[in-house]
Chains A and B, each alone.
Chain A
C-alpha cells in the first residue's frame, strides 16, 4: 500500500508544500496560515508514524527507497530511504515540527513569513535524515541555515546577548560545521572515485569501499569536527546556550530537538559507516571530550538563572551521553546513542515549549522572578515537571532508556570515563530539581495571579511530546528493536573492519 506511493517524498515535502500555499495567501489571513502550517506538519507526522509501523524489521536495511539519478557525472541522485536509525529521527522531526507550529500560535509579528520559514526549516532538517545520498544530505543541511538565521534575528529575544549576535553565532557555527563537512565529502568523493573508478555519492556504495587507514583517520577527523560542532561537542559548544536563548521558541525547539541531532546522525551514518577505521582511531578522543560535555556543562547549569540558559547548557551536557555512546562503537552503546538523540529531542522540545509559553506571558525567564507557579499554572507545571524528570533520567520516561543503554555499552570500552559520565546523573538531578523547585514550588506569588494556564492550542506540545516521553519510557521494546535493526548494520561494518584493523596494523596505530 505504502510502497506504491513516493511516501518519503510526500513526508519530506509536505511542509514545503504548506509553505508554498501560505506564500499565496494574503498576510492578514492569520487563521488559514496557521491551519495550513498545522495541517501540513500533521500530515508529515501521520505519514512518519505510518512509516514507523510499516517498516519491515525482519528485512532491515533501507526501505521505501526512491531513486532518481540527477547529476550523473558526480554520481548524485535524488535518493531517499529510511532504516532503523533514520526512522526515529524522522519521527522526532515531525513530532517537534508539529508541536513547534502550536508553540508558535501566539507569534504576533510577520506571521506569514514566520510560518513559511518555519516550514522550510522543518523540511530541511527532515531531508538530512531521509536521504541516502551524500550530496543531497549536504544540500539539505545548507537549506537549514538560511531560515534559522532569519528566524532568530527577526523573532528572537535579547537577554544576555542580543538576538542579532545569537543569530549570527548560530549561523556561523553551522557554517563552520558545513565547511569541515564539505571538505570531508569532497575528499571522500575523490578518493572513492580513484578507488572504484565510478563517481558515486551513494552512502552505502561509499561504505562498501575500503579506504586506506591514513585517509580514513584524516577524513573522519574532519567529519568529527564538523558534526561535533553541530552536536555542540566540547569545546565547540559555545553557540548552543546563546543561540537557544536568542532564538524564538519554535527555533529553540527544532534546533535543540532535531537540528543538533544531524551531528550525531552524521557521525554514525557517514562517519562510522563509511570510515570505520578512522572512527576507531578518533573515538577515544571523542569519548574524552564527551566527558567535558557531561560534567563541565552540567556544572555550569548550576550557576544559571535564565531558564533558557539552563536548558541550553543542559542540552550540551546531554549531548555528552550521545557522544560517548557513539565513541564506544558497540551495538549497545550506539543503540543508546540513537534512542538518546530521540529522547533528548522530545524532552528539550517540551522544555523549550514550556519556557516559551511562560516567557510569552510573563516576559521574564529569570528563575528568581518566579516561585510557586504550580498554584496558578498546574498544567504548565506538569509540563515542566515531565520535561525535568525526563531530563534527569527518571525510569519510566524515555530518556532513561538512552542513558542506561549508553552507560552499559560505554562501560565495556571506557571504564573510568563512563564512571565520570555517570556522575552526570547526580549533577543533572541537582540543577533540574533546583530549577523546578524555585520556579514551580514555594509560596504563591501574587504578581503572577494574572497568568493563564495552558489551554487550547498551547496544550498540543505538552500532550504530543509528553505522551511520547511516557510511551517510550514505559514500553521501550518496540522502538529499540527498530533502532537495533539499523544499528546492527553499522556495527557489522565496524566489526568487519575490526578484524582488518588488527591485520593491517598489528594493533599499533
Chain B
C-alpha cells in the first residue's frame, strides 16, 4: 500500500499543535492575529495528516494497525512510553477531533475578534488540540493519563478564560476539582493495572488479561477506570461541572465541552474495552450509570431557559447514551454516536454562539424570538443540528441512536431500551422548544440582530453538511456497517431492526409535536403544566439540588474539619512541642539553684552520688 508511509508521521498530528502552542507562548503573544493564523495553520495541517492516516488505516478490509513508541519514563519496574497506536478506532477519533477543532478555530476568528487575550486564547486552543490528539494516539495508560490531565487543564484555562468574572473563576475551579475526584479512581485503576500485569501498554495488557481469571479484581479495576470516565464525560454524580463550564467562550463549549474532551471518557471505555467487557458486573453498572444520566440530564433540560445550558444538559444526556451503549456491549454504536454527536453538537453550540454574538451576549431563550428571518444561515444550521440530535431520518443522529437502541434491545436490556426511547422523546421536545422559541417565537430580541460574518457561518454550513451525511456509514446504503470500520467483532455489532427505527422516529416526532403544540401553537400553556406539578418543577429547575448538596458538603464537612484540624495542630501538636521546650527551660531554672558555687554543697552532692551508686551496685549484684 502506497499510503502507509504516512503512518510513520502520524505523531505530527499531535506534535504540530504543541509546537504552535510553544511558539505562541514564547514569541508571539504580542501578535494576536499571527498567533491565531499559526494555530489554525497547525491544526489545518494536522487534519490533513489525520485524513491521510485514516485513508492509510482503512486501506485494507480489516484495517491497518500500526504502533510505534519512544521511551519517556523508563526504569526497571515502570515504563511509560510516548507512543501512537493507529487503528480504525484511533483514526475515526483523529478525524473527528482535528476537523471539529479546525472549524472551531476558524469560527473563533469571528467570534473572538475583539478579544484582547486572543493570543492566549489560541495558545490554549493549540495546547488543547495537541493534548487531545495525544490522548487519542496513546498506546498505553500512562500516556493516556498524562494527556487526560492536560486536556483537563486546558479546559480549566478556557472555562476561566474571562478570569475577571467570578462565575468563570468558580466554574473553572469546579471543573478541575470534580474531574480530579474521577481521576483519583482512574489513577488507582492504573496503579492496579501496573501492579497486576506489570505493564501499561494496551497490547501487553490485552494479552496478559487473556489468561486472567479473578472476576472480583477485574470488577474493581474496571470500576476504578470507569471513575475517570465519570469525571471526564460528566456522568452522574460527577456531572455538576459541565453545565457550569458554559462560562467559557461558546466556541470552547462547542469543541471541548461538547464534541471532543468530554467524549474522552467514552473513548477510554472503547480503548480499554477488553478490560471492561471481561467483567459483566462492571458492564451492567456502566450501562445503568449511562442510562440514568441520559434520563436525568434530559429531564433538567426540559425546563431551562439558558440556551447554552440546555445544550450542556443535552450533552450530558447524549454522553449518558454513549456510556449506556458501552455498558450494553454496543461499543461500535457508542463510537458511532460519539462521532455524529461531535458534529451535530458542535454545530448546535456554534450556531447558538452565533445567536448569542448577534444579541450582545443574551443567553435567555425567552428574550429571543423570530430570528429565523434575521439569521437564516444560523437558523438553518441550528435546525439541521436539532433534527439530527432528535434522531430524525435520514440525518446522522438517527442512525447512530438507533444502533444504540438496537444494542440495548439485542443484549436484553429492555428497560434501558425503553428508557432510551423516552430520552429520545424528551430530547426532541427540549430541542424544538428551543427552536420554536428562539427562531420562530413572537418575542422580540433587543437591538437589531443580524447574521454573523462568513467566517462564522462558513464553519456552520460545513458542519451542517457533515451532520447530514455523517450517518452514512451506519445506514443500509453502505456495504459495511459502522462497526466494520472500527473493527468491532461482529458479535458486538447489532444492526437496528425496522421496528426500532420506526419507534424511535415516532417518539422523536412526538417530542417535536409536543413542543410545537406548546410553544408554537400555544395549544397548551407551559405555565399550567408547571402549576400541576409544582414540586417536580422546582426539583428540575434546581437541578435536583445536587450542586447545593456538594456545596453543603464542602462548606460544612470538608472546611469545618479543615478548620478543626488546624486548631488541633496549633493547640495540640504544636503545644506539645512547645511544652517540651517550656519544660526544659523550667528544669534549667530549677536546677540552676543547685549550682551555687559553694564547694561544700558540691562535696555533699558528690557524697550523695557515691552512696546512691554504691547502693545501686549492691542491690543489682544481689539481684543478678
Write the residues of chain A forming the contact surface with B, with a CB cutoff of 8 angstroms: 172, 235-238, 242, 296, 299-304, 330-332, 335, 372, 374-375, 389, 394-396, 400-401, 404-405, 407-409, 411-412, 418-419, 422-423, 425-426, 429-430, 433-434, 437, 440-444, 476-477, 480-481, 484
> What's the least CB distance linking A434 to chain B, in Å?
7
B177 touches A433 (CB 8 A): yes
Q: Which of B156, B183, B565 has the most CB of A within 10 A?
A: B565
Closest beta carbon of chain B to A418's beta carbon, Å: 7
Instruction: Decide yes or no: A299 and B176 within 8 Å by CB, A331-B76, A375-B164, A425-B187 being known contacts.
Output: no
Task: Assess the B149–A300 pair: CB atoms within 8 A.
Answer: no
Tell me the bound Cα distance from A437 to B165 in angstroms: 11
- Residues in A with CB closer than 8 Å to B177 are 426, 429-430, 433
Q: CB-CB < 8 A to B581: which residues of A?
A: 172
Q: Are A484 and B565 in contact (CB under 8 A)?
A: no
**Most chain A CB atoms below 10 A, which of B71, B72, B77:** B77
Whole-angstrom distance between the alpha carbons of A389 and B563 in the complex?
24
A335–B75 CB distance below 8 A: yes
Q: In the assembled complex, which residues on chain B have CB atoms less than 8 Å from the CB atom of A444?
A: 164
In the complex formed, the residue of B with least CB distance to A374 is B163
Evaluate contact between B73 and A437: CB separation under 8 angstroms: no
Evaluate contact between A405 and B78: CB separation under 8 angstroms. yes
Contact of B562 among A303, A401, A437 (CB under 8 A): A303
Flag if B565 contacts A395 (CB, 8 Å).
no
| A372/B164 contact (C-beta < 8 A), A238-B577, A300-B562, A437-B173 known | yes
| Contact among A332, A426, A442, A476 for B181, CB-based, below 8 A | A426
Q: Which residues of B contact A330 (CB under 8 A)?
A: 77
Q: Is B23 an interface residue (CB 8 A)?
A: no
The distance from the CB of B228 to the nearest CB of chain A, in whole angstroms, is 13
The verdict on B166 contacting chain A, using a C-beta distance below 8 Å, is yes
A238 vs B173: C-alpha distance in the bound complex, in angstroms? 30
Contact of B145 (CB < 8 Å), options: A303, A395, A419, A433: A395
* Distance to closest chain A CB from B536 (angstroms): 34
| Contact across chains for B76 and A395 when beta carbons are under 8 A apart | no
- CB < 8 Å: which of A300, A418, A426 contacts B180? A426
The CA of A418 and the CA of B194, in the complex, are separated in Å by: 14
Q: Which of B80, B147, B176, B574 contacts A238 (CB 8 A)?
A: B574
For the complex, is B561 an interface residue (Cβ under 8 Å from A)?
A: yes
Interface residues of B in 39-75 (CB under 8 A from A): 71-75
Q: Which residues of A contact B574 (CB under 8 A)?
A: 238, 242
Q: Given the known inter-chain contacts A374-B163, A441-B164, please indicate yes or no for A296 contacting B146, CB distance below 8 A.
A: no
Q: Decide: A426 near B78, CB < 8 A? Known: A407-B191, A443-B166, A477-B71.
A: no
A477 touches B184 (CB 8 A): no
| A residues near B569, Cβ cutoff 8 Å | 238, 296, 300
> Nearest chain B CB to A200's CB is how many angstroms away?
31
Q: Are B173 and A303 in contact (CB under 8 A)?
A: no
CA distance A236 to B577 in the complex (A): 8
Q: Which residues of B sit under 8 angstroms from A441, Cβ to Cβ?
A: 160, 163-164, 168-169, 172
Pick from B145, B150, B172, B577: contact of A437, CB under 8 Å = B172
Least distance between A381 CB and chain B CB atoms (Å): 9
CB distance from B572 to the nearest CB of A (A): 9
CB contact list, B146-194 vs A, under 8 A: 146-147, 149-150, 153, 156, 160, 163-166, 168-170, 172-173, 176-177, 180-181, 183-184, 187-188, 191-192, 194
Interface flags, B73-101, vs A, CB<8A=1, else 0: 11111101000000000000000000000
A372, A395, A400, A407 — most chain B CB neighbours (10 Å): A395
Cβ–Cβ < 8 Å partners of B551 in chain A: none
- Alpha-carbon separation in the docked complex, A239 to B581 (Å): 13
B462 adjacent to chain A (CB < 8 Å): no
Complex Cα gap A19–B559 (Å)? 47
Distance A59 CA – B153 CA, assembled complex (angstroms): 41
What distance in Å separates the Cβ of B241 from its nearest Cβ neighbour in chain A? Answer: 12
Instruction: Please tell me if B613 contacts chain A, counting CB pairs below 8 Å.
Output: no
**Bound Cα distance A374, B164 (Å):** 9
Number of residues from B at the complex interface, CB < 8 A: 52
| Residue of B142, B145, B168, B577 contacting most chain A CB atoms (<10 Å) | B577
B contact residues around A480 at 8 Å (CB):
73-75
Of A296, A411, A433, which is within 8 A of B565 by CB?
A: A296
Asked if A423 and B173 make an inter-chain contact with CB atoms under 8 angstroms apart, the answer reads no
Inside 8 A of B147's CB, which chain A residues have their CB? 395
Q: How far is the CA of A442 from the CA of B558 in the complex (A)?
A: 24
Q: A426-B180, A433-B173, A443-B165 are in contact. List 12 more A-B contacts (CB 8 A).
A: A302-B558, A302-B559, A303-B559, A330-B77, A332-B76, A389-B153, A405-B75, A407-B191, A423-B184, A441-B172, A443-B166, A484-B76
B169 and A299 form a contact (CB under 8 A): no
Residues on B with beta carbons closer than 8 Å to the beta carbon of A237: 573
| A422 CB contacts on chain B under 8 angstroms | 184, 187-188, 191
Interface string of B437-468 (1 = CB under 8 A from A): 00000000000000000000000000000000
Instruction: List chain A residues, Cβ under 8 A from B559.
Output: 302-303
18 contacts between A and B (CB under 8 A): A238-B569, A238-B574, A238-B577, A296-B569, A299-B558, A300-B562, A300-B566, A303-B559, A303-B563, A303-B565, A374-B163, A408-B78, A422-B191, A423-B184, A426-B181, A441-B172, A442-B166, A481-B74
- Report yes or no: A394 in contact with B75, Cβ–Cβ below 8 A: no
Distance A172 CA – B574 CA, assembled complex (angstroms): 13
Residue in A299, A411, A425 with the greatest tally of chain B CB atoms within 10 Å: A299
Contact status B145-A411, CB under 8 Å:
no
Chain A residues within an 8 Å CB radius of B166: 442-443
Query: Does B517 sit at the interface, judged by CB under 8 A?
Result: no
A296→B562 CA distance, assembly (Å):
9
Tell me whether B418 is interfacial, beta carbon within 8 Å. Answer: no
Question: How far apart are B363's CB and chain A's nearest CB, in angstroms?
Answer: 20
How many Å lie between the Cα of A422 and that of B558 in the bound state?
17
Q: How far, in whole Å, are A160 and B397 apart by their CA atoms in the complex? A: 61
* Contact call B170/A437, Cβ cutoff below 8 A: yes
Q: Which residues of B contact A423 (CB under 8 A)?
A: 184
Determine which residue in A332, A426, A434 has the highest number of CB atoms from chain B within 10 A of its CB, and name it.
A426
* A477 smallest CB distance to B (angstroms): 6
* Contact between chains at B184 and A476 (CB < 8 Å): no
Q: A300-B566, A426-B181 are in contact. Are A405 and B149 (CB under 8 A)?
A: no
Bound Cα distance from A360 to B23, whole angstroms: 33
For A242, list chain B residues within 8 Å (CB): 574
Q: Among the listed B160, B164, B184, which residue makes an inter-chain contact with A425, where contact means beta carbons less than 8 Å apart?
A: B184
Complex CA distance for A409 and B165, rounded to whole angstroms: 42
Of listed A372, A423, A442, residue having the most chain B CB within 10 A: A442
CA distance A400 to B145 in the complex (A): 11
Contacts of B195 in A (CB 8 A): 411-412
Residue of chain A at shortest CB distance from B145: A395
Partner of A409 from B77, B160, B558, B562 at Cβ < 8 Å: B77
Nearest residue, chain B, Cβ from A393: B149
Q: In the complex, A476 Cα to B142 Cα: how many Å? A: 13
- Smallest distance from the beta carbon of B438 to chain A beta carbons, Å? 31
The 8 A-B residue pairs with the shortest CB-CB distance, nearest first, are A302-B562, A395-B146, A441-B169, A303-B562, A441-B163, A429-B180, A238-B574, A303-B566
Task: Give the distance to chain B from A321, nearest Cβ to Cβ, in Å.
Answer: 13
B75 touches A484 (CB 8 A): yes
| Chain B residues within 8 Å of A238, by CB | 569, 573-574, 577
- Please state if A433 and B176 are interface contacts (CB–CB under 8 Å): yes
CA distance A400 to B152 in the complex (A): 15
Q: How far is the CB of B140 from chain A (nearest CB, A)?
A: 13
Which residue from A304, A394, A418 sits with its C-beta under 8 Å from B566?
A304
Q: Is the CB of A394 within 8 A of B149?
A: yes
Docked complex: B550-585 residues within 8 A CB-CB of A: 558-559, 561-563, 565-566, 569, 573-574, 576-577, 581
Q: Give chain B nearest CB distance to A190 CB in angstroms.
A: 24
- Docked Cα-Cα span, A480 to B176, in Å, equals 29
**Which residues on the B side are within 8 Å of A236 (C-beta)?**
577
CB distance A408 to B176 under 8 Å?
A: no
Complex interface: chain A residues within 8 A of B170 (CB): 437
Cβ–Cβ < 8 Å partners of A477 in chain B = 71-74
